[in-house]
Amino acid sequence: MENENIKKIMHVLRHAPHGTIYTYEGLEMILIMAAYEQDLSVVFIGDGVYALKKNQDTAGIGIKGFARTFMALDGYDVEKLYVDKLSLEERGLTEDDLVVDVEVLDAEVIGGLMKEQDVIIHH
- In the chain, domain spans: 8-122
Minimal CA–CA distance to 65: which of 75, 55, 80?
55
pTM over 0.85: yes
d(CA 89, CA 92): 5
**109 CA to centre of own chain:** 16
Going residue by residue through the chain, which has 123 residues, state the pLDDT in tens, using 9 for 90 and above. Answer: 456 788 999 999 998 877 777 888 898 999 999 988 889 999 999 999 998 888 766 556 556 666 667 888 888 889 999 999 999 999 999 999 998 999 999 999 999 999 999 999 998
Output the CATH code of domain 8-122. 3.40.1260.10
